[in-house]
Structures are given as structure tokens and as C-alpha cells.
Amino acid sequence: MDFQNQSFHISNIEIESSYQNELSKLNISVYRGIITKVNHSSTKVKSVSLESGENIQVDTLLWIPQVKPIQLIQRLIENLGLELNEQDYIKTNQKLRTNVKGLYAAGDIKGTSPIGALAAAYNGGIAATSIVHE
């Protein structure tokens, strides 16, 4: 996989400097800020708009909100046409891909147990590995 122009957005999460250095070596950009809009064409994520007014082009989006923003999740489901599973959570495959190209779901929003921070961290690792090996 060519890592040129790959962008990851992490909202208000501190990343250890060793991880930041590894991402930099792979030419993967990390942006911090509050996402106000996910811009897409059909079912492909194109960019995100931040509260600062900045618009960031992305090929892949890894978004880690601080809390479960239920209203925002519902809007994403509706606006992006995300498929839901039988329990009305965001449906993913084993690699945590959604039906929207370039969009992955991890943690409580996919509705599998166990839930909580450790499960979300584990899911995030699976999603990151899936992105790297695409």
C-alpha cells in the first residue's frame, strides 16, 4: 500500500511520541481538532471540515471521538448510507470496514461486546492494521 497522502484524524487524543514518529516515517499525517463535517462523494470519504475552518483531504479516516456522540452517529448513518447490523449498530466486516470505502468503525458504535475503552482500543488496533494492509 502506498502511504503517500494518507491522512488520519484523531480528535483530542494524545499520541505517544514514538507512535507519532512511526506515523511520520510512513508519511501518515495526524490532525487534531473537532470534526464538524465529513465530506463525501457517494460512499467515499473525501475530506473532513474542522471547527477551526480547516478542510483536510483524506483517503482514509480514523476518527476517535472522546465520547459517543449519538446524534452525530445517527447523522453519519443517514448521510453516508451506513449499513446497520441486526442490533441497529454500525455494521462492519472482520477488518472493521463499513460499507463506505475508507470508513472504519471501532468500539461501542459497532455494538459488539465487550464494550468500553479496552474493547475500543483493541478494535482501533484491528482497524489500523486493516488500513495499513489494504
Instruction: Evaluate if residue 18 carries a pLDDT over 80.
Output: no
Instruction: Evaluate if residue 50 carries a pLDDT over 70.
Output: yes
**Any idea where the domains of the chain sit in the sequence?**
6-132
Instruction: Evaluate if residue 1 carries a pLDDT over 60.
Output: no
Give the Cβ contact number of residue 35 at 10 Å: 18
| CATH number, span 6-132 | 3.50.50.60
What average pLDDT does the segment 71-85 reach? 85
Write down the pLDDT at residue 64: 60
Instruction: Evaluate if residue 49 carries a pLDDT over 60.
Output: yes
Place of cell 478494535: 123
